[in-house]
Amino acid sequence: MARIFIVDDEPIIGIGLKTLIWEYKRFSEIDTFTDGESALSSIMANPPDVVLTDIRMPRMDGLELCRHIQQLKLFTKVVVLSGYGDFAYAQKCMSYGVQEYLLKPITEIELFPVLDKMLAMRETALISFTLFEQWIDQLEEAVWMLDKVRASELLEEGKRELFAVDTDTQQYQRVYDAVRLLRKKLNARGAYRLEVKPLIEESTVITITYEWFQAEIGIWMQRLSEYRKHERINVLEAAIQYIDEHLFEEELSLDMVAGKLGVTPTYFSHYFKKNTNETFVQYRMRKRIDKAKQLLAVPHYKIIDIVAEVGYESYPHFSRVFKKATGYSPTEYRGLLGIK
């Protein structure tokens, strides 16, 4: 369920709107405020999904409140209600990112469709930002690993799916956010420090486009390569060495290996499959089954002891995996070797 703040200096109007919106039944929390300043404090502490605000209020009016919400870059959607049918107000509101401007008095026939639209926009924005963060995480790892092929794939994916926006201003903002976030993540690793020229200055002549961003990533990777004396981190070699050393431990998992290498499970899974033509789970199972075959060929080894030695927690689990891999149960396999 969503949350909404109602901001109006006339308490009776705030109460009336709260009663009306309860009938809408899609907000679990409805808070009212009589001025923009008190509303802003609560918005900063715990941003709601929607803000419904009047224009004319004491201490901080609706326009100033909208300006602050825009500067905070929140996902909160704003609807302005006003008794003033002045187009200049509407224009100013829209310049602060307000999605709707409605004139008082308002009824559910006018308000409910707008709330539907705000919640839909909010959900879309959250999904979009989540995908953006995931993409940045993957790109950061590709850059850190100097994986030029993967970085190129991700940059093309981003251009196609995340940066195909309608206006130059929107693309400028997204590229700017991407540069800041990616730089922050890379510098957080603590080994090297990547510096970026200030992007927003009067003297800045750089046109910040996605193409500029792609070129900048190439520069960063070249810089990292120079720092490392052009030696790329061999993730595959390190991964296989670690897996083989811990192969027969029950807790060996993709997350564990990725953590030891300092990369995310998503990146490691993609990288491992691409370079070995099998998934981490397939590789682990194949190596364990190969070892189990060697031990099953030794007559004095009990099958129940082999189960634990090759990293399985129970005989039924081991037996299922072994038969899936070989077509035979452990006992049948021993029979093929002439061992009873």
Alpha-helical (H) ranges within 165-279 are 168-188, 210-227, 235-245, 254-261, 265-276
The proportion of the chain whose per-residue pLDDT surpasses 90, expressed as a percent, equals 4
The pLDDT confidence band at residue 5, using thresholds 50, 70 and 90, is very high
Tokens of 325: 């891999």
> Contact 62/80 with Cβ under 8 angstroms?
yes
| Residue ranges, CATH 1.10.10.60, the chain | 235-336
Q: Which of 153, 129, 127, 128 is nearest to 270 (CA)?
A: 153
Label the pairing between strands 2-7 and 27-33: parallel
How sure is the predictor about 234, in pLDDT bands with cuts at 50, 70 and 90? low
Distance CA 43, CA 23 (A): 23
Where along the chain do the CATH 3.40.50.2300 domains lie? 2-106
Q: Is the alpha carbon torsion for 310, 312, 315, 316 positive or negative?
A: negative
Tell me, what's the pLDDT at 47? 86
Bridge partner residues of 53 (DSSP):
7, 80
Alpha-carbon distance of 276 to 71, in angstroms, equals 47
* CATH H superfamily, domain 235-336: Homeodomain-like (1.10.10.60)
1 pLDDT higher than 50: yes
Assigned architecture for domain 2-106? 3-Layer(aba) Sandwich (3.40)
CA distance 316 to 320: 6
Mean pLDDT over 259-286 rounds to 84
Cα separation, 147 vs 133, whole angstroms: 19
pLDDT in tens, 107-150: 888 888 888 888 887 776 665 677 788 888 888 888 887 888 88
Query: Average pLDDT over the chain, rounded to whole?
Result: 81
